[in-house]
Amino acid sequence: MIAITDMTALELSRALEAREISSTEITRAYLDRIDVKNGEIGAYLTVTYDEALKSASLSDSRRARGEALSAMDGVPVGIKDNICTKGVATTCASLMLKDYVPPYSATVIEKLESSGAVILGKLNMDEFAMGSSTENSALGKTRNPVDTSRVPGGSSGGSAAAVAARMAPYALGSDTGGSVRQPASFCGVVGLKPTYGRVSRYGVVAFASSLDQIGPITRDVRDCAAALQLISGFDGRDSVCSREEPPDFSGCLGLGIEGMKIALPEQFLVEAVAPDVRSSVLHAAEICEKLGARVDVVSMPSLENALPTYFIISSAEASSNLARFDGIGYGSSAPGIDSVDELYRKTRSMYFGPEVKRRIMLGTFVLSSGYYDAYYKKAVRVRTLIMREFNSFFERYDIVMTPTTPDTAWRFGERKSPMAVYLGDVCTVPANIAGIPAISIPCGADAGGLPIGLQLFAKAYNECGLLRAACALEDEFGGSGE
Amino acid sequence: MSRIYEAVIGLEVHIELKTGTKIFCACPTDFGAEPNTQCCPVCAGLPGTLPMLNEKVVEYAVKAGLATNCEIARYARFDRKNYFYPDLPKAYQISQYDMPLCERGHILIATGDGEKRIGITRIHIEEDAAKLVHDDRYGTLIDLNRAGIPLIEVVSEPDMRSAAEAVAYLKKLRSIVLYAGISDAKMNEGSMRCDVNISVRVAGEDKLGTRIEIKNLNSFVSVQRAVEYEFRRQVAALEAGESLIQETRRFEPSTGRTFSMRVKEDADDYRYFPEPDIPPIILDNAAIKRISASIPPLPDERRRTYMEKFGLSAYHSEQLVLERSVSDFFDAAAALTEHRQILASFILSEVLRYMGEGDAIAVSPAQIAAIADMLGSSRINGSGAKKLLGALWGTEGDPAELISALDLEQLSDRAALAELAKRTIAQHPNMVRDYKIGKQSALKALMGRAMSISGGKANPEILRELIVLELEGQ
């Protein structure tokens, strides 16, 4: 029989529905697995043993009474540590919030709990979600389960590593510029950034408010659809959350991609993209054609401006969002201070890491009087142009296809220059800038055996089309990317 | 002083909106609750929380704009004003920067030279900050009850030229928001707060002088005194050949002087940018029309009605409309009596004095209308009316019954009053002597004595006539 931790979330759900297994057994299996693996992988910052077993036991009682809250009642999940969990530390992998325990839960946590999910613990990340390797975590190192000498990607590195290492059947991450898709790509799993507004942001510690979106990291596309179902939908606590009723995402799968029109932007088939990655994407394009889709190589010139636009807007918003960490109301506070200005200065100097400081300074600069027009205002205008270009492409195409990253997972410490790391986000940021959904699915491996991710974009609120195409490709690639 | 100077004054007034719940969460906004009992994760700016705009705030702000003749934006948005201060939990205030909800309005004030129009530059919505409480034992403490209370900031044009005009503007603005029913506007509780911008220049010049801002004035008297002091200070500086620096000052009520808080060079760069967490406000004509229809008649409209329909003086009309509660009371009583001028005068002189500041009127419109009728038909005189008011205050007594019970009926019987006149004159030969040599005060003195002998009940007009007759006949 297949090991519990090797089953997908939907396989677990089916086994639970069939009473072949209990949530307590599943949860114990995962907690045991975490005990064995977390020392090496470092995916979890907090493991909520007692709470998880209690939730599992409650789930089992519900199922025994025939009162399961959902098909996923009793299936465990891991949570990125920037999503607030009432009574459980939510650190953002920062010294600033090392001991912070929120008094409320994020909307997605409430939604998971009301569907009976069992939360296993909180997952490592780049500090405040700023980074692409989880090396910016102030609280621990997460290794890529595929090759532990390499980074798992980031910022949701703990989430991707946990799913890849079978330490959670699925996990939630947050994606501001690729932070779900890029680590999913590096670890060989599936990562989805939903449409901006599909999932409530209430309770995710804000990095860049106009870009942040919570998304699932899963073993395969079917799990991804099921996980998205659990967390999406209107929320009266997030003004930008859509009132649109989410469709049945799982129901969109299995329809194939015959007749779909797919655009392949030449901007992401250039020299800067590693040859193995390029050939994997081109191979995927061939598969699409084989399956009856039409693939056109197109030019989307505005994509070249997405990266600078992203860094200006995200840093500007971050500089404002992170200003609240001032040593007064909550979080860490510099000791032995007697003036309030000194408290601000010392607290923020001591407890923010270098990357966070860099973004705050960049954001403060681009919003400063005298520079606002040249940077922030211009970036907002370019953003509109990028949105328009995507919209015009989505009049003609169902899907835009690119690599998820120009390269595969790198070795720890290999990328020292922030610019080199920033450039790695070039393929993922357009989805956040345009507010559209995007998914990364495994599409092969490079010469060194490292996973390569294929990214698909669809128009806003067309997760259905996106998941349908991803599922068809995944079936062709052969399952959960191994 | 060799030259004549004038003050150029503009006001920035913050007004708390009484929407019942806060601007971005469902916490209550009651004044005076125990510290930190009306707050939630959103008010505290906890990581991950988001603002949800209270639609009533937009409605009230639109009412404020319509009531002050502003143009209402069809598209407005919120911006973040970024600065660090312990009373600001998120380290930014959600406000409106370059796309405010209301612009280009005006209100009318009464001045010595008649009506004057004061321009309103803009009205925008923002959230209030928390309150810092200084405690001897624990140092500075934060009360989050006030954090997130909805405010409008009303910015005037620099159209005022004196402390009196500034106060008249502030009073008129207060009266308008009270009528519109959008705020308690109590300066002593901080639900209405005022910053004054003032510069001086030689009268007749076009160029504006150096602008000084006086922050956080919390009473009409403070505004009056601060402006008067600042005008003198600035004129004295200019006369002494000093140049003024653009700065922010604070007014100290105990000394009546202003003190420098910070100069302009220290001013923060607030790094405003559009608030990404709140979609823009979009209003259509139908929404604005609906809000407009819900505004009750405003003071200027009522004032015109009083003058044109009831024949009241401009002064009485203006006084009556200052407080909506007074005007409402007058309207209710005026519907019950034909003697509206007597009613207005009695309310303004006697009822308001009885009431004191901040209290409610503890008599009914029907009771006061009955008193006005009795005054109008000479059944009682002014002194009897005062006594009657005292007896009725806080009771449901019937004025008609009370005048008999208290024996307040006016004495108008000519024979009895002639007897009274004779007797008084006989008793005070010295006053008669004074009267004969032309001292007008003597008549008043005699009237006073006679009224006093009658126990205040004599009809003063008949009595005066009879005393004069008696004196002239001697």
A59 is a catalytic site residue = no
Closest CA to B110 of B308, B341, B304: B304
Distance, CA of B172 to CA of A450 (rounded, Å): 74
Q: What is the pLDDT confidence band of residue B416, given thresholds at 50, 70 and 90? A: confident
Q: How far is A430 from chain B (nearest CA, A)?
A: 18
A326 to B278: CB separation less than 8 angstroms, yes or no: no
Contact B113, B172 (CB under 8 A): no
Flag whether A378 is in a domain.
Answer: no
The CATH number of residue A128's host domain is 3.90.1300.10
CB contact under 8 A, A364 and B80: no
Q: Could you give the CA distance from residue A373 to residue B272 in angstroms, rounded to a whole number?
A: 12
* Helix ranges (DSSP H) in B348-413: 352-355, 365-376, 382-392, 399-405
Helix (H) or strand (E) holding A191: strand A190-193
Q: Which residues of B402-427 are buried (b: 16+ CB within 10 A; e: fewer)?
A: bbeeeebebbbeeeebbebbeebbee
Among all chains, which residue has been given the structure tokens 């207060």?
B174
Mutation for B interface: A326, A360, A369, most B CBs within 10 A: A326
Best probe of the A interface among B49, B58, B98, by most A CBs < 10 A, is B49
**Banded pLDDT at B358 (limits 50, 70, 90):** low
Of the candidates B89, B90, B279, the beta carbon closest to that of A240 is on: B279
B8-33: per-residue pLDDT in tens?
Answer: 999 999 999 999 999 999 999 998 89
B221 Cβ neighbours under 8 A, 6+ residues apart: none
Closest to B192 measured CA to CA, from B229, B231, B223, B226: B223
Q: At what angle do helices A306-321 and A378-396 cross, to 10 degrees?
A: 130
Query: Could you say which of A155, A200, A250, A314 is catalytic?
Result: A155
| Residue A9: domain span | 4-252
Whole-number pLDDT of residue B161: 95
Element holding B334 (H helix, E strand): helix B324-334
Chain-chain contact of B277 with A240 (C-beta, under 8 angstroms): yes
Nearest chain A Cα distance for residue B303, angstroms: 43
Give the residue from chain B lying closest to A85, CA to CA. B48
- Whether B252 shows a pLDDT value over 70: the answer reads yes
Say what the pLDDT of residue B357 is: 60
Chain B residues in contact with A206 by the CB 8 A cut-off are: 47-48, 50
Nearest to B80 among A90, A92, A320 (CB): A320
Is residue B266 very low, low, confident or very high in pLDDT (cuts 50, 70, 90)?
low
All residues of chain A having their beta carbon less than 8 Å from the beta carbon of residue B47 are 84, 90, 92, 97, 100, 102, 205-206, 324-325, 330-331
Q: What is the mean pLDDT of residues B363-371?
A: 90
Predicted pLDDT of residue A480: 42
Chain B from 220 to 239: CB within 8 A of any A CB: none
Least CB–CB distance from A367: residue in B46, B51, B273 = B273
User: For an interface test with B, which of A80, A82, A239 has the most B Cβ atoms less than 10 Å from its Cβ?
Assistant: A239
Contact criterion met (CB below 8 Å) for A325 and A331: yes
Which residue has tokens 């609120």?
A461
Averages of pLDDT over each 10 residues, chain A, 482 residues? 93 97 98 98 98 98 97 98 98 98 98 98 98 97 98 97 98 98 98 98 98 98 98 97 95 94 93 92 96 96 94 98 96 92 96 98 96 96 97 97 96 88 92 98 96 98 97 83 40
Considering the domain boundaries, does residue A25 fall inside one?
A: yes
Which A residues in the span 189-248 are in contact with B, Cβ-Cβ below 8 Å? 201-206, 208-210, 236-240
Residues of chain B numbered 263-322 and touching chain A (CB < 8 Å): 269, 271-274, 276-279
Domain count for chain A = 1
In angstroms, the separation between the Cα of residue A230 and the nearest Cα of chain B is 20
* β-pairing verdict for A213-218 and A399-403: unpaired
pLDDT of residue B356: 67
Task: Give the pTM.
Answer: 0.89
Catalytic residue among A23, A179, A440, A480: A179
Phi, psi of B379 (to 5 degrees): -75, -30
A23 is catalytic: no
* Residues B90, A92: C-beta atoms closer than 8 Å: no
- Strands B79-82 and A399-403, by their bridges, are unpaired
pLDDT given at position B451? 87
Q: Which residue stretches of A296-424 are H helix?
A: 306-321, 340-351, 354-367, 378-396, 418-423
- Put simply, the answer to whether A202 touches B276 (Cβ < 8 Å) is no
Q: Nearest chain B Cα to A105, which residue?
A: B48
Query: Which residues in chain B are closer than 8 Å to A356, comparing Cβ atoms?
Result: none
Please indicate if any CB of chain B lies within 8 Å of the CB of A326.
yes
Is A192 within 8 Å of A329 (Cβ atoms)?
Answer: no
The sheet with strand B5-16 has its strands ordered as: B71-72, B102-111, B114-127, B150-156, B5-16, B192-202, B212-217, B247-252, B257-263
Bigger pLDDT: B275 vs B428? B275
Predicted pLDDT of residue B261? 87
Q: Is A225 within the bounds of a domain?
A: yes
Q: Rounded to a whole number, what is the distance in Å from the CA of B156 to chain A's nearest CA?
A: 25
Q: What mean pLDDT do residues B209-228 have?
A: 94
* CB pair distance less than 8 Å for A328 and B142: yes
Confidence check: pLDDT of B430 > 90: no
Residues B456-460 have a mean pLDDT of 84
Assigned domain for A216 exists: yes
State how far the Cα of A429 lies from the Cα of A196, in Å rounded to an integer.
13
- Give domain status of residue A357, yes or no: no
Separation CA A189–CA B35 (nearest Å): 50
Asked whether residue A416 is assigned to any structural domain, the reply reads: no
| Inter-chain touch A319–B271, beta carbons under 8 Å | yes
Provide the number of CB pairs (under 8 Å) joining chain A to chain B: 102
pLDDT in tens, B166-203: 999 999 999 999 999 999 999 988 999 999 999 999 99
| A290 part of the active site | no
In a domain, A9, yes or no: yes
Question: A309 in a domain, yes or no?
Answer: no
Question: Could you say which of A100, A239, A364 has the minimum Cβ distance to residue B50?
Answer: A239
pLDDT in tens, B288-323: 999 999 998 898 899 999 999 999 988 889 889 888
ipTM score? 0.96
Contact B14, B193 (CB under 8 A): yes
Q: Do B279 and A239 touch (CB under 8 A)?
A: yes
Model pLDDT, residue B412: 80
Confidence category of residue B378, pLDDT binned at 50, 70, 90 = confident
B50, B82, B269 member nearest A320 (Cβ): B82
* B82 to A326: CB separation less than 8 angstroms, yes or no: no
